[in-house]
A and B are shown apart, each in its own frame.
Chain A
Amino acid sequence: DAKTTQPTSMDCAEGRAANLPCNHSTISGNEYVYWYRQIHSQGPQYIIHGLKNNETNEMASLIITEDRKSSTLILPHATLRDTAVYYCIVRVGYSGNTPLVFGKGTRLSVIA
């Protein structure tokens, strides 16, 4: 399974876009990019996933480079409630039958 590299921590001003990078240079063709976040001591929360194309939902946007070796999670207008640890995971899809493995993630602090 492809490994991911994320910065340990990042700061973002409230109201600004938060751009969280993730490197996954060994990703294979059938692996998805998943993003989850964990707000202080709560259970992790699914944000978004993608395979090749950029994706957007009500929470965030996911930009995947054309070679799929890196991606960026964008929170368009960060609020204090977005302060959390963000996990980028690369894993095969549902039919691959393998569980997600969480690394240490990026600790995002949104500052007023």
Chain B
Amino acid sequence: NAGVTQTPKFRVLKTGQSMTLLCAQDMNHEYMYWYRQDPGMGLRLIHYSVGEGTTAKGEVPDGYNVSRLKKQNFLLGLESAAPSQTSVYFCASSGPVRGANVLTFGAGSRLTVL
């Protein structure tokens, strides 16, 4: 039982390049999320999904796109990377635990944009 797996773990991009971060979960969770965390800061929600084929914007969605074609996968895309998108990206999925919404996080993907 792997939980939430993120790939890649590290990536360096040049400004203007594109890339996709993959998040996979094996817990049959309906909800999935992408957060970013800048140095010394808290987590900020980028986009989230409440089920296969659905996505919604979070606090900081600009510059990112997402897709949830399969229930177990949630992809985060950067079409034209900018230095301001240098950050650690965390994916999470959630399921009900005694009525509450409990998140399980991945280990993170560290992205540097030069």
Q: Which residues of A contact B (CB under 8 A)?
A: 32, 34, 36, 41-46, 49, 51, 87, 91-97, 99-105
Contacts of A51 in B (CB 8 A): 99-100
What are some 25 contacts across the A-B interface (CB < 8 A)? A32-B99, A34-B102, A43-B4, A43-B108, A44-B43, A44-B92, A46-B102, A46-B104, A49-B98, A49-B100, A51-B99, A91-B101, A93-B96, A93-B99, A94-B94, A94-B96, A95-B96, A96-B101, A97-B50, A99-B31, A99-B33, A99-B48, A100-B103, A101-B59, A103-B42
B interface SS class: strand
Contact B100 A94 (CB under 8 A): yes
Interface size on B, residues (CB 8 A): 31
Q: A94-B99, A99-B48 are in contact. List 20 more A-B contacts (CB 8 A).
A: A32-B99, A32-B101, A34-B100, A41-B108, A43-B92, A43-B107, A45-B105, A46-B103, A51-B99, A93-B99, A94-B94, A94-B96, A94-B97, A94-B100, A97-B31, A99-B31, A101-B59, A102-B35, A102-B42, A104-B42
